Each structure stands twice: as C-alpha cells, then as structure tokens.
Structure 1
Amino acid sequence: MINLSNRHIYGYGFGNFGYGIIFQIIATYFVFYATAVLGLSGTVIGAMVGTGVIWDALSDPIMGYISDNTKNKKYGRRHLYLWIGGFSVLITNLILWNLHASIPHWMQVGGMIIALLLIKTGMTVYITPYTALGAEITDDHIKRAKVQSVKMSFFLLGIFVATAVNMLLFFKATPEYPIGQLNPSGYRYMSVFTTALMAVSMFVVLKSTSHMIPELKKRIVHNHNSGLKDFFTSLAKAFAHGDFRAVVLGYLFTNLSSALLSTIGLHVYTYTFKMGNMQIALIAGSQLLMAVVSQPFWLWLNKSMDKAKAIRLGLMMSIISSLYFIGCVFLRGLTAENLWILLPFILLGGTGTGGLAMLPQAMVADTVDAHALVTGQRQEGVYYGTLTLTYKLSQSFAILFIGIVLDWVGFDTALAAQKAFTLTSLGLILGIGSLFSFGAAYVSYSHYHLNRKAMDAIHKQLT
C-alpha cells in the first residue's frame, strides 16, 4: 500500500495547475484572439477549433488504453507520458500565440490548425495518464475524495491564473489599445509566462510521485494481449457500466455550461456588460476562487452523504445561479452600472462549480473499482480517458456553436458599438444554455447508484 502523505497529495495535485492554465488560455482567449485581434471569421475559427477539440477528445480513450497497457520498467504505466506530453505542451504553447496579423491569411489558418492539433495531442498525452494516476494512488474513501479535491483545486487555480491574472498582467488598457484584450503583444507575453508555469507544474508532479512507481506496478491485476479489438471491447464495457455512464453523461452536460462560459464569456463580459480588463478579472476570478474556497465544504459533505446526493445539490445551486444570470442580462444596463448585482451569481455559481468539478472525478474512481471486481482488470486510463472525451466533445460543440452564433447574432469587430440585439443575445445564449445543461446533468446523475456501503464491500473483496 502506498504511504500517501499530504505532501504527496498536494504534489500530485499541483500537476493539474499547469494543465489548467494551458487548457483555459486556449478555451478563454483563442476564439477572441482569432476573431477580434486577427479578424478571422467566427465560423472559420469555430470549425477549426472544434475540429481540434474533436481530435483531442477522440485521442483521450486511445491514450488511456495505451497507458493502461504500458509495461515500462523504469516509468511504469503513467510517468513516461507525463514527460512526453509535458514537453510537447511547453513547445507548442509558445508557437500557438505568436501568429501575426501581418502574415497571409492562409498561413494564419494553416499555422493555427497545426499548432492546435499538436498542443491538443500533447495535452492528451499528459493529462490522461495523470488523471488515471490519481485513482491508483489510494482506494481509501476519504483520501480518494481529498486527492480529487486538491487536484481540482489546482486546476481551478490554473483557470484563475489564465483568466484573472493573465488579464491583469498582459491586457492592460493603453492609449493605442483602450480595450487591452485587443493588444496582440499581450498574447505573446502570456505564452511565455504560462509555459514557465506549466514546466514547474510538470516537474513537481514527477518529483512527488515517481517514488510510487514500484508500488503502482503491483496494482496491475490483469495481463492480457492488447490490440485494436481489445481497445473497442474495453470502451464497450466501460459504457455498458450503468453508473459510469451516468457520470459520463452528467459530466458532459455540466461541462457544456463551462464550455459556453469559456468561449463566449469574454464576449459577454466585454460587450454585454461593458467590463474592462480589471472588472473581468474580478468577476471571473472571484467565481473561480469561490469554487476553490468551497472545497472544504464539499469534502465535509462527502463525509456526511453519498456523492450522488451531493452532486445534485451542486446542480441545484448552479441552476439557481443560471436563472439569476438571465435576469441580469435582461437588466444589462443596470447590471453594467452596478456590477455588485452579479454577487449572488458569483457566490452560488462558484460554490456549485466547486462540487461539480470535484465529485465526478471521485465517482469515476469508484466505478473503476466496481469494474475491476467484475472483470479483474484495472482500466483507470480507459475510464478517465472516456470521461475526458465527453468533456472535450462538449467543448468542441460549444466552440463550433459559438463560432456560428457570433456571426448569426451580428457580432462585428469593425463596429464601434455592437447592436442591442447582439448584446442581449450573447448574454441569453450563455444563461439559457447553462440552464439547459445543468437540468440535463441533474437527470443523468440521478441514475448513479454506487454508495459508500457498496464501495466498502467492493474494496474488501478486491483486497
């Protein structure tokens, strides 16, 4: 059994910090950068980024399967890919944000496609084995939840840095660029800063967990021939697992909302509510910090009730928050002049996000154990790769959808002020889309039936 101290838990969790930063700068800034800064068509960018995310999503379960079946004597099943994927992300992140508006259009588009595919592939090679590792290092009910909570807290802090800190550091208003987000040089400085943070994050997780490799090898309970047929069989078995399917669908729907916020949020804050970079950083950062600060609450709740009940509570908070946000959009003039009106949206939405981000990760770890009891196979990589697939498919759909919608609602960077219809439509798309997503997720999670009593019995039989 691995001796899992708090130092190891926090060291492992910090590996998600750099990934969260890289993931979020692409989700938050890229569509805005390409459309508002470089002036490319929203439809073209939406299709391009959506295609990249689909490739990224489809490669996740493949990477999970490869990792599950790796038998490297020195690095085990996971750590080799943390090195390979991590270095790939470092290089391609620098390339992605250094495209210039002066180069020919075809070079811009071609460069973006290549850079996106490469960075998405590197992120998959890194994050899928990393996430699977978190389910392997402990099967204790309390520690498992803590591992996922710490991991998700660092991910959310990474998102905070990507949205709030980057906004403050690199997109300050200047005489040449009164709207700081339109300054091309800010994106180049951001790429250097975020690449450095990703490098630190990667080395910390490797340093904190490499000593676990010998013990992790003992947890491999199967030895079968791998291949294409076995890969698809593994996927089919994963989706046939009713509890896992409930988590996957619920996770997909909740992340439709986060995908909408990531892709269109900057447009809504900048144009609908007329916020500057300082105000955007304050609003977005406060909600993310609320999600992090709420983690002790969700850990306490995990001790006192089953995960399925806890996650439905988080969904109810998010549904109420979405309804409130829709009201703010209809009163956008009043809200723009009095941003404190958004405070209930920040508090309730942030707290709900904290639970919705952490609990599904722990629920998947439980389904892996239930699957191992029946089949004798531990397939953390396939399960978490499949979970990530659904998450990224939701991102892809949102990016493609938003790219088309920006053109449909008449968003035009050439206009000094957007039309009233455009401003209201942007906000309502975000609010109503989130409301639908959370409602669908509530229905999905209602079909999850694993509880603490069942998991205690499973763990006794596995040991």
Structure 2
Amino acid sequence: MTTARAHPRARRLTPVTKLFYGFGSVAFGVKDNGFSYFLAFFYAQVMGLPAATVGLAIMFALVVDAFVDPIVGQLSDNTRSRWGRRHPFMYAAAVPVGVSYVLLWNPPKGWEPGLLVIYLASTAILIRSFISCYEVPSSALAAELTTEYDERTRLLSYRYLFGWVGGLAMYGLALSVFLRPTAEFPVGQLNRQGYANYGLFAGGLMLFAILVSAIGTHRQIPFLREPPSERVTLGRLTRELIGTLANRSFLFILTSNFFYAMGIGLGFSINLYFSTYFWEFSSAQIALFTFASLGAAILAFAAAPRIAKRFDKKPAALILIPLGISVGVAPIVLRLAGAFPTNGSPLLYPLIFVTTIVSVGVGIVGTILFSSMIADVVEDSELKTGRRQEGVFFAATLFIAKAVTGVGIFASGMIISAIRFPAHAKPGQVDPDVIRHLGLVYVPTQAVLYGTATLLLLGYRISRASHAETLRKLAAAADLATEGEPVSSVGDLA
C-alpha cells in the first residue's frame, strides 16, 4: 500500500479532475428537478391521483431513504476492491438509475388508483435508492480526493454547479421539447406521452453522467484510502455508525443543514404560488426565472471558494444564511407594507428577477459551504475514533438534500391549507386577504427555519486552524505507524 493510500495528503486537483467529478451531479440534479417540479403534477393532474395522496407517497419514499442512505455509506466505507471503496458502487448504479427513472414516468395504463399509488411509491423508492448507490460514494470522494481546506470548497463548487445546470437544462428541455403544446394537447403539461419521452431522455442523461464521472475519476483510485482489513459484521457496523454520528460538530452542522434545507425546499415548492398569484406574472415570465437560477448557480460557483477563503467557512455561512433569506423575503415584506411596485408595474419583474438571482445564489453558496464543512468533519472524526467514514457523513448530507423535495411539498401544502387558498384559482381573482395571508404566514415561517439554522451552526467548532492541526496529528500518527511504532491514541499526539 502506498503512503497516499495509507493516509491522504492535502493536494491540489487538476481542472479536468474537478470537471469529471462535478459532472456526475448532473444525474442528481435531473432527478431532483423532476421530483420538485413535475412528479406531483404528473401523478395528480395527468394520472388522476389525489394531490394529498401523491404527497404522502413521495414522503413515504423519503422515509425509506432515511434507512437506505446510511447503509450505502457504511458499505462503501468498508468495501475493499481493486477499484477502491467508491467506484464499484458508482459503476453498478449507472444502469439501474437510468432504468428506474424511465419506469417512474411510464406508469401502467388502466390501473386502479390504489395500485397506481403503490407503483408511484415503489418506483420513487427505487430511483431514490439507486441514486443513493451513486451519490453517497461519489459525494464521499470530495473528502478523499483532497484534505486541503480550501480545495474542498472549490471541488464541491463544481459539483453544485453541474447539479444546478443539469437540473435546470433538463427542466427547460422538458417544457420546450417534450411538453410543448400540440393540437391534441394545448396545455403541454397534460401530455402523458410527453412525460414518457422526457423520462426516457432524462434517464439516458443520468446514465451518461454517472459513467462519465466514474470513468473520469477512475485514475484517482490509487490516491484514495482503503479500509482496514477487518471482518465486517452487522454489530460492528451499527456500533461504528452510532459512534461516528455522535461527533459534536457533525450533529450541529447536520441539524443546522436540515433546517436550512427545509427553508430552501419550502421556497421552491411554494414559489409558483407567489409568482402566479402574489406577483401575477405570466407563464412566459415565470419560465424566464430559469435563467435567474442559472445565473445564480454560475455566480455561486465563482463566489463560494473566494468567500470561504476570505471569511472562513463557518463565519461566511453565519453571514450568508440571514442575508439570503432577508433578500428573498424583502419584496414580500415591502409589498405587505405597501412600499413596493404594484402588479403590472414595469419595475416589478426586474426587481424580483434580480432579488431571485441574489437570494438563490447566496443559498447555493451556503449549501456548498455546508457540504465543505461536513467534509472537514471526516478528519475530526478520524482523529477521535480512528475510523475514516466519509460515506456515513455524506449519506446524511444526501438524505437532507433529498428531504428538500418531500418536506418542501409537505410544508407548502400545510401553508396553502392553513390560509384556505382556493382550488382552481385564477390570477387576479383571489381574495386579497388570502393573498396577504400567504405572505404573512410564509415570511415568519422562513424566519424561524433560517434563524434556527443560524443558531445551530454556532455549535460547529471546526475552523481552518483547527483543521490544519487535525491534519498534522493524523500525518504524525501515519508516520509513526509506517515506522512500526505503536500509536495508542491519535488524539494524544501533539
């Protein structure tokens, strides 16, 4: 075993390696975008299932995810093969991910509603589970490819850029190609065959993205860690999982990230209500917001590494979380106070477009920083437990990323129900009091979610200096082990 495989050193990665690594997140971006924007609508409006039932089916798949993700993380952490710990899972997931996504958008014809709900839940669980088999090991590579504090943020910026660009590009392609209006379907979103064609193309794209990333990062395998040669048992895996997840900084960053993701998910899920009824934008104007999100992703890609380097990760996140939500809800607050342009004003759309770029961009930077901070927990945990378990930590992160969809749909539904928003409502014809209540409930809810995320982040203790010291101690322990000297406790090294 080489020194690199015995203990990873801080190193800079080539742009090509970062591109191959980041490109794989196109698969997750496509899946997440489909779940967020199309899935609930397709099964409710096209397939005829009750909207509440669809939401429950999606939430059930999310609950199953809570068990699948850590299992995949543990298995990949303890896998020994000539292709390393992560790549066997990445290669194996490619075809099942593509096939299961195609199945999701091709439900059987003529089935009873009850069977159709079972089909939805089953295929949703399949695609989420298979995407976990790729995404958990792939995400864990970020902590293995380099231990350099700032390089991790740069690497993860590529991952989130490709995830957003892939998802948004597939969203635009779906609306402009697969779901475009026809003589038979003047409303293209109601064309069942369009969704089938979309699923086939999207599944193929996901398969391609996974294989390109796995093959492109294959040459990095000699630089990655191998697990110790120990017998793996269920009891041992369970004890290690509990011990690893008990890391103090990880618990704070995980719970903080959960509330942060809930806020983001709620914003995504309820955004169409604000665009359609609160601001009364046309469908063409709403579609153009895709470019605002795309611009935000590109800006976040460029800004995240620079912000983290100048302010450090935790202080930067503590600034960005309140900033992002403040910019996002400022137009709503000003409208409620009667100090914002009225609907139809030529100033309204440009103002909302710009605030969308800023708020979404800040949100993406915050997400990148959260993932980078979790990567830094890996060495902190290794110093305390002697185990390196990137898969377990990033499995928890992935579950939270998936929770954005399920929890967001559930939370937005609760708000819409609480304010008694009418069904089949037309823009401009909804009771002004209902529209006002939409803003009055949404803004405080987001303030609580983002405020809780900010407060919990204060419990995260890893900084640039402490991470460097952790790496020094781990390197010293590795050097002693190479020389054949016993090391009773890595944490005791000074």
Is residue 2:239 matched to residue 1:229? no
C-alpha separation in 2, matches of 1:363 and 1:318: 19
* Residue of structure 2 equivalent to 1:454: 466
The one-character-per-residue Cα deviations of 1:184-238 (angstroms, maximum 9, x if unpaired) are 343223212212221221121112111222332xx23644443333333233223
TM superposition shift of 1:165: 4.2
**Aligned in 2, Cα 1:335/1:125: closer, same or farther, shift over 3 Å?**
farther
Deviates more, 1:190-199 or 1:127-136: 190-199
Q: TM-score, normalised by structure 2?
A: 0.84
* Residue of structure 2 equivalent to 1:433: 445
Q: TM-score, normalised by structure 1?
A: 0.90
**Aligned in 2, Cα 1:138/1:325: closer, same or farther, shift over 3 Å?**
same
* Residue of structure 2 equivalent to 1:323: 329
The correspondence for 1:310, drawn from 312, 316, 328, is: 316
TM superposition shift of 1:406: 4.9
Is residue 2:340 matched to residue 1:340? no
Q: For residues 1-400 of structure 1, what are the structure 2 equivalents within 5 Å?
A: 1=4, 4-73=13-82, 75-99=83-107, 103-173=111-181, 179-216=187-224, 219-220=225-226, 222-327=228-333, 330=336, 334-335=342-343, 338-393=348-403, 395-400=405-410
C-alpha separation in 2, matches of 1:348 and 1:342: 10
**Aligned in 2, Cα 1:4/1:436: closer, same or farther, shift over 3 Å?**
same
TM superposition shift of 1:377: 0.9
Larger Rg: 2
TM superposition shift of 1:134: 1.7
C-alpha separation in 2, matches of 1:310 and 1:300: 10
Confirm or deny: 8 A CA contact 1:36 1:413 kept in the other structure.
no
* Partner secondary structure for residue 85 of structure 2: coil
Deviates more, 1:271-280 or 1:90-99: 271-280
C-alpha separation in 1, matches of 2:148 and 2:226: 18
C-alpha separation in 2, matches of 1:413 and 1:82: 43
C-alpha separation in 2, matches of 1:25 and 1:427: 27
Confirm or deny: 8 A CA contact 1:97 1:191 kept in the other structure.
yes
TM superposition shift of 1:121: 1.0
C-alpha separation in 2, matches of 1:159 and 1:253: 23
* Residue of structure 1 equivalent to 2:486: none
TM superposition shift of 1:92: 1.1
C-alpha separation in 2, matches of 1:292 and 1:133: 23
Confirm or deny: 8 A CA contact 2:94 2:211 kept in the other structure.
no
**Percent identity of equivalent pairs:** 24
Confirm or deny: 8 A CA contact 2:134 2:210 kept in the other structure.
no
C-alpha separation in 2, matches of 1:328 and 1:180: 35
The one-character-per-residue Cα deviations of 1:357-400 (angstroms, maximum 9, x if unpaired) are 21111111111011112222110001111222334345433333
C-alpha separation in 1, matches of 2:61 and 2:106: 18
TM superposition shift of 1:150: 0.8
Structure 1 residue ranges without an equivalent (≥5):
none
C-alpha separation in 1, matches of 2:269 and 2:302: 29
The one-letter code of the counterpart of 1:157 is: V
The one-letter code of the counterpart of 1:441 is: A
**Aligned in 2, Cα 1:100/1:301: closer, same or farther, shift over 3 Å?**
same
TM superposition shift of 1:252: 0.6
**Aligned in 2, Cα 1:404/1:343: closer, same or farther, shift over 3 Å?**
closer
C-alpha separation in 2, matches of 1:432 and 1:192: 41
TM superposition shift of 1:145: 1.6
TM superposition shift of 1:100: 6.9
Deviates more, 1:308-317 or 1:101-110: 101-110
CA RMSD of aligned residues (A): 2.8
Confirm or deny: 8 A CA contact 2:97 2:207 kept in the other structure.
no
C-alpha separation in 2, matches of 1:80 and 1:57: 22
Confirm or deny: 8 A CA contact 1:322 1:435 kept in the other structure.
no
C-alpha separation in 1, matches of 2:335 and 2:234: 49
Confirm or deny: 8 A CA contact 1:250 1:444 kept in the other structure.
yes
Deviates more, 1:44-53 or 1:318-327: 318-327
C-alpha separation in 1, matches of 2:439 and 2:258: 22
* Partner secondary structure for residue 217 of structure 2: helix
**Aligned in 2, Cα 1:430/1:56: closer, same or farther, shift over 3 Å?**
farther
TM superposition shift of 1:305: 2.1
TM superposition shift of 1:10: 0.9
Confirm or deny: 8 A CA contact 2:378 2:390 kept in the other structure.
yes
C-alpha separation in 1, matches of 2:343 and 2:104: 35
**Aligned in 2, Cα 1:98/1:370: closer, same or farther, shift over 3 Å?**
same
Confirm or deny: 8 A CA contact 1:364 1:384 kept in the other structure.
yes
TM superposition shift of 1:427: 5.7
**Aligned in 2, Cα 1:293/1:258: closer, same or farther, shift over 3 Å?**
same
The one-letter code of the counterpart of 1:109 is: V
Confirm or deny: 8 A CA contact 1:220 1:378 kept in the other structure.
no
The one-letter code of the counterpart of 2:115 is: M
The one-letter code of the counterpart of 2:22 is: G
**Aligned in 2, Cα 1:105/1:156: closer, same or farther, shift over 3 Å?**
same
